[in-house]
Homo-oligomer: A and B are copies of this chain.
Amino acid sequence: MARVGIIGCGQTAFGRRSDATVQELAFEAWRAALDDAGVEPDVVEATVVGSVPEYHKQRSLPGVIQEYLNLNPRPVWLTEAACASGSAALRTAWLEIAAGVHDVVAVIGCQKMTELETAEILALMGRVGDVQWESGFGTTFPGYYAMFARRHMHEFGTTSDQLAAVAVKNHHYGAANPKAMFRKEITVAKARASEEVSAPLSVYDCCANADGAACVILAGERAARALGKDRVVWLDGMGCASDSMSVLRRSDLTGLPSARAAAAQAYAMAGVTAKDIQVADVHDCFTIAEIMAYEDLGFCGRGEGGAFIDARGSYIGGAHPVNLDGGLKAKGHPIGATGVSMTCEIVSQLRGECGPRQVPGASIGLTHNVGGIGQYCFVNVLRRD
């Protein structure tokens, strides 16, 4: 299989964007990615759009995006895997190149989540789980993760202070990211004092809905060389796995089996192990999700996620710096854009462009993008030669 790499990336700032349509947001990311790659649109043979349709009034987003980007008649369709929709798009583009069908493909992750009215958001929120056996009882997205957190605390003694410590770290780094939605440091005390959402999770344990778009441009090795690109970041390990929709069918409530399966695939394909990962962006939709990610990815042992953040293992200088862009928590979570934005961050880290939040000399990085409560997980290992 031909090696596939990223030759350009760009994203909008994340946050409330009441000034733009979703295709206008996509154009901002597209423009930034082309400028970053230093290529013209004509080299891009196809696009893939990652997004969750039900947040938009506009149906079938690839239609308006491909038109607004002026890319017709090139192929495009949408991928959906809940909050991992952007990574499904990235995987699709990788497949298109690996199969030899295209040489250069653009991935657009995008989402406008603040377009809906509160009543519409509340209606959607009631259908995040299995609607047959769970939604009728008022389950919510924080509610599911709260049940993971409760079980994690029970089995391993994880504390609310440890959860809060994840939020503190992510706000710390988010403050240094000009693309982040929240750019203010917080304290454990402030996080602990925030309003309860779903016990034991409170407001500062949860990421925020945001608007935004991100774009990466992929090329096969030969095409990248032909274009004269010499700072390519390679997609050397690509993992993807699924788990049940329903929490009732889960074999484990203290981690995500889909994340462990996807990580194992990505590590094996890249020929690395967890200890080789020098920088990572993981899916911290809730603080407990980042704790579980440390364990699922092998950054620490099972049940040791709380101790790992206590020991600052996920700070710069720790064994595995995590979410130096602020994570979903501080950067914001425009769900379709998130997986692509994670990829942008790790590419920037591996190129050494992150300034105050740069991991010095990092050459191997990882993205971990979870859909829903682990129904999907995509783990990718990226490498700079």
Decide if A36 is an interface residue (CB 8 Å cutoff): no
Check if A78 sits within 8 Å of B80, measured CB to CB: yes
Interface residues of A in 91-150 (CB under 8 A from B): 91-92, 95-96, 98-101, 124, 127-128, 130-132
**What's the least CB distance linking A121 to chain B, in Å?**
13
A94, closest chain B residue (CB): B99
Check if A128 sits within 8 Å of B244, measured CB to CB: no
Check if B127 sits within 8 Å of A57, measured CB to CB: yes
A187 partner residues in chain B, CB cutoff 8 A: none
A371 partner residues in chain B, CB cutoff 8 A: 60, 63, 77
Neighbour of A240 across the interface among B75, B81, B99, B258, CB < 8 A: B75
A67, closest chain B residue (CB): B244
A273 partner residues in chain B, CB cutoff 8 A: none
Interface centre among A92, A95, A124, A130 (most CB of B within 10 A): A95
Q: Given A77-B80, A95-B92, A243-B72, are A54 and B62 neighbors across the interface (CB < 8 Å)?
A: no
Decide if A21 is an interface residue (CB 8 Å cutoff): yes
Assembly CA distance A75 to B84 (angstroms):
12
Check if A77 sits within 8 Å of B81, measured CB to CB: yes
A244 partner residues in chain B, CB cutoff 8 A: 63, 66-67, 72
A81 partner residues in chain B, CB cutoff 8 A: 60, 62, 76-78
Check if A74 sits within 8 Å of B127, measured CB to CB: no
A124 partner residues in chain B, CB cutoff 8 A: 59
Range class of the A interface residue count: 35 or more
Neighbour of A75 across the interface among B58, B67, B130, B241, CB < 8 A: B241
Decide if A362 is an interface residue (CB 8 Å cutoff): no
Check if B59 sits within 8 Å of A127, measured CB to CB: yes
A242 partner residues in chain B, CB cutoff 8 A: 62-63, 66, 71-76
Pairs A–B under 8 Å by Cβ, sample size 27: A53-B54, A54-B54, A59-B82, A59-B131, A60-B81, A60-B82, A62-B375, A63-B82, A63-B130, A63-B242, A63-B371, A64-B132, A64-B245, A64-B246, A67-B130, A71-B242, A72-B243, A72-B244, A72-B258, A74-B241, A74-B242, A75-B242, A77-B371, A78-B81, A79-B79, A98-B100, A98-B101
A interface list, Cβ under 8 A from B: 1, 21, 52-54, 57-60, 62-64, 66-67, 71-82, 84-85, 88, 91-92, 95-96, 98-101, 124, 127-128, 130-132, 240-246, 249, 257-258, 261, 371-372, 375-376
